[in-house]
Amino acid sequence: MLTERLTSLSPPSVSRRDMLTKCSTGFGLLALSGLLAERSGADGAGQASPFAPRQPHFKPKVKSVIFCFMSGGVSHVDTFDPKPLLKRDHGKPMPVPVRPTMFNEIGNIMASPWEFRRYGKSGLPVSDLFPHIGGCADDLAVIRSMTSVGNEHAQANYFMHTGFSLAGFPSAGAWMTYGLGSVNQNLPGFVVLASGGAPLGGVGIYGNGFLPAVYQASFLDPTQQEAVANITPRETDSRQRKRLGFINRMDQSHLTQLKGDEQVESAIRNYEIAYRMQSAVPDLVDLRGETDATKTLYGMDSPVREKAEYGRQCLLARRLVERGVRFIELTCLPRPSDAGQIGNPWDQHGVLKAGHSEMAFQVDQPIAGLIKDLKARGLFDETLIVWAGEFGRTPFAQSGDGRDHNPFGFSVWLAGGGIKGGTVYGATDELGYHAVEDVSTVYDLWATVQHLLGLNHERLTYRFGGRDFRLTDVHGHVLHKILT
């Protein structure tokens, strides 16, 4: 019982971490039942704990997913999908009909301000925006034929994350945690590193939707005084343990009165997990144990605050992977030159060159550093990195030097376990306007991610409101061509 352990631990100078170590025996069991949620029969009750590690449908390739979400929409024709035709026909009107756009300011064809060069053995072309990631080209599988349904940030953000363009559906991270549980019982299974801004549409894109609330993202923002809300004890450890002791004595007495009640019992145990999270989270974000070389690899020594901060997110992502966290999502920080554009920093309707340069500078070295570090530590093969924005951008100009939203064809890439590196999959037309070859969908992307995690996307369902829902709705095909 918590009481005994808490009271038997003396002198009170024992640190939280010490206690965590000492108590770890048998803790897992407690945690499993402690997280029990009351769920109705129709919603499919029965699991012992929503966080307990669960058997995948088949042998997984990877254990964790790191989702680098490029909020605002990265231009594919300026990054991973070179289109020489844009250079040739720069300034000419679009030769094909233009579909309705967000701002209805349709300009002429615009050449990319960046050169592309081929990298690695594969010769995968990457633009000069991403020299560091280019250096990892042989690890990437670029899907150049991605499509989305949303032409507006909020809906496209929801669609990219949940497979539905409205609020109220579970985020990909919530689905994965629901499907596989979590290895670490002291940390949440789905973590959003939130030092960047909340994407347009709000933090609902990380929500649990109709899944039990335990699966929603937990926000970890290392720039805040408290990386996780309410994680900092408001009192000394000794006082807190005295309080927990009193609470436990009283709760046990109440439980006896009730002659036992499962809910109350698990709520009591819940306090122990909370207590342990109070040290697990500070331990996670404490980077003093990391070498300067590691920090430099991630670009954390950069004088540009945004890059250093994104580097810290990438490093924390690695540390979360090491701790068995299932799904980690990173958030881009605003551009230094327009700190007001928080939710959609990649969204350059004008001045594309300056905006994309700043954003690529922020994420390029940190993400490449993450790939290299994971490899160096032997974690790369059990981790999957997903890099995507909510849509691409138009090959034609808007406001002279910007690009509008383009959901009809854009690029995303994957790297890590089970991924055939140096691959290009699918293609857009000569202008980069519409996907034309091996047209892919967001459903395909998540079907593939689930596949790598050992899940059959058609079988991971949840019944809500009279329907069995999936992350891939009624669609989705695993993109086997990009897999080893």
Which residues inside 134-153 make contact with other proteins, applying CB under 8 A?
151-153
203 or 351: whose CB is closer to other proteins?
203
Binding residues for other proteins, how many (CB under 8 A)? 89
Instruction: Give residues 144-203 in contact with other proteins (rule: CB under 8 A).
Output: 151-155, 165-168, 194, 197-203
Two structure tokens written together for 196: 């960047």
Alpha carbon 8 to its chain centroid, in Å, reads: 41
Instruction: Give residues 90-109 in contact with other proteins (rule: CB under 8 A).
Output: 100-104
- Cα–Cα distance measured from residue 338 to residue 420, given in angstroms and rounded to the nearest whole number: 37
The least CB distance from residue 148 to other proteins, in Å, is 12
What's the Rg (C-alpha) of the chain? 24
The least CB distance from residue 258 to other proteins, in Å, is 6
CB within 8 A of 463, min separation 6: which ones? 42, 43, 44, 469
Phi, psi (deg, nearest 5) at residue 84: -55, -30
Asked if residue 121 binds other proteins (CB under 8 A), the reply is no
The least CB distance from residue 321 to other proteins, in Å, is 21
Instruction: Give residues 424-483 in contact with other proteins (rule: CB under 8 A).
Output: 461, 463, 465-468
The least CB distance from residue 178 to other proteins, in Å, is 13
The least CB distance from residue 130 to other proteins, in Å, is 27
Instruction: Give residues 376-395 in contact with other proteins (rule: CB under 8 A).
Output: none
Closest to 393 (Cα-Cα) out of 166, 113, 194: 113
Instruction: Give residues 74-93 in contact with other proteins (rule: CB under 8 A).
Output: none
The least CB distance from residue 220 to other proteins, in Å, is 10
DSSP 139: G
85 or 149: whose CB is closer to other proteins?
149
Instruction: Give residues 9-48 in contact with other proteins (rule: CB under 8 A).
Output: 34-42
The least CB distance from residue 212 to other proteins, in Å, is 6
Torsion of CA 13, 19, 20, 24, to 10 degrees: 170
Instruction: Give residues 260-289 in contact with other proteins (rule: CB under 8 A).
Output: 261, 263-264, 266-268, 270-271, 273-275, 277-278
Closest to 144 (Cα-Cα) out of 398, 346, 479, 438: 438
204 or 417: whose CB is closer to other proteins?
204
Given candidates 48, 96, 213, 376, which one binds other proteins under the rule CB under 8 A?
213
C-alpha triplet 118, 424, 177: angle, nearest 5°: 120
Binding region for other proteins (CB under 8 A) out of 218-226, 314-322, 362-370, 444-452: 218-226
Given candidates 125, 204, 416, 417, which one binds other proteins under the rule CB under 8 A?
204
Closest to 192 (Cα-Cα) out of 295, 313, 279, 312: 313
39 or 90: whose CB is closer to other proteins?
39
29 or 250: whose CB is closer to other proteins?
250
Instruction: Give residues 343-362 in contact with other proteins (rule: CB under 8 A).
Output: 343
CB within 8 A of 392, min separation 6: which ones? 73, 74, 75, 76, 77, 146, 405, 406, 407, 409, 410, 411, 432
Residue 75: CA atoms inside 13 Å, Cβ hemisphere, count?
35
DSSP 97: P
DSSP 262: H
Binding region for other proteins (CB under 8 A) out of 76-84, 208-216, 365-373, 383-391: 208-216
- Cα–Cα distance measured from residue 334 to residue 429, given in angstroms and rounded to the nearest whole number: 31
Binding region for other proteins (CB under 8 A) out of 18-26, 112-120, 210-218, 370-378: 210-218
Given candidates 251, 306, 329, 444, which one binds other proteins under the rule CB under 8 A?
251
C-alpha triplet 36, 190, 263: angle, nearest 5°: 10
CA-CA-CA-CA torsion sign (232, 373, 418, 479)? positive
CB within 8 A of 477, min separation 6: which ones? 443, 444, 447
Binding region for other proteins (CB under 8 A) out of 14-22, 116-124, 235-243, 294-302: 235-243
231 or 351: whose CB is closer to other proteins?
231
